[in-house]
């Protein structure tokens, strides 16, 4: 097995999760201006100019924030297809919120979001001071709910935000790792390839 590329924190047979680079800004700007992507993310389409977006993107890369960190999702061929992040991190309680977005329409519906989430959780439990990760997904988004359930999240309650109903879901380190050891997230169990070990660079 070859060594992981610099900045790669997790890798599967189809995907890599890596640190973001300034070159990622163009694709992310296009996705965030797309009304369809914004609808699934429960956010309005981006209204910043490209120049303003790049300046903000570069600031986020340069200045670390212990409460949040974003990563790029790319195929093993190097195609940038999405982003994921944790935010609202509380390192005292060991909790953080999770979000993921797959940009290109042709990359959705193929299990890549589930695969990326499983790979990220393996990395997070091993490398971050987190014991519980939670998320909010739109109640009507059945595909996202099923994806998160396959990745090991459980529904806990319904939350009303901005006149939208969200499902709050969470994963806890102890029982997630137990399920993983039992093969729940292996290729045979879920159809998502098991990640190859990778180390954080820098």
3-state DSSP call for residue 184? Answer: coil
Nearest by Cα to 120 from 140, 136, 91, 97? 97
Long-range Cβ pairs for the range 57-65 (8 Å, 24+): 57/22, 57/24, 57/25, 57/28, 58/22, 58/25, 61/20, 61/21, 61/22
Q: What is the pLDDT of residue 42?
A: 78
Q: What is the pLDDT of residue 64?
A: 85
What tens-digit pLDDT sequence spans the chain (202 residues)? 455 577 999 999 999 999 999 999 999 999 999 888 888 877 888 899 999 999 999 999 999 898 999 999 999 999 999 999 999 999 899 999 999 999 888 888 889 999 999 999 999 999 999 999 999 999 999 999 999 999 999 999 999 988 889 999 999 999 999 999 999 998 533 444 443 333 333 2
Q: What is the pLDDT of residues 62-120, one digit of tens each?
A: 998 989 999 999 999 999 999 999 999 998 999 999 999 998 888 888 899 999 999 99
Dihedral, CA of residue 159, residue 162, residue 164 and residue 168, to nearest 10: -30
């Amino acid at each position: 097995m070859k060594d992981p590329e610099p900045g790669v924190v997790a890798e599967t047979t189809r995907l890599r999760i890596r640190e973001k680079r300034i070159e990622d800004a163009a694709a992310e700007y296009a996705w965030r201006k797309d009304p369809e992507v914004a609808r699934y993310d429960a956010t309005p389409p981006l209204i910043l100019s490209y120049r303003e977006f790049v300046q903000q993107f570069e600031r986020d890369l340069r200045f670390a924030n212990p409460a949040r960190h974003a990563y790029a999702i790319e195929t093993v061929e190097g195609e940038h297809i999405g982003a994921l992040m944790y935010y609202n991190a509380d390192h005292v309680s060991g909790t953080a919120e999770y979000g993921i977005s797959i940009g290109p329409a042709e990359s959705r519906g193929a299990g890549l979001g589930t695969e990326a989430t499983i790979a990220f959780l393996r990395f997070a439990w091993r490398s971050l001071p987190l014991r519980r990760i939670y998320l909010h997904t739109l109640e009507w988004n059945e595909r996202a709910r099923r994806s998160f359930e396959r990745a090991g999240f459980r529904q806990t309650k319904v939350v009303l935000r901005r006149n939208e109903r969200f499902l709050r879901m969470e994963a806890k380190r102890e029982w997630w790792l137990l399920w993983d050891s039992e093969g729940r997230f292996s290729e045979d169990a879920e159809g998502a390839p098991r990640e190859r070990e990778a180390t954080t660079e820098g």
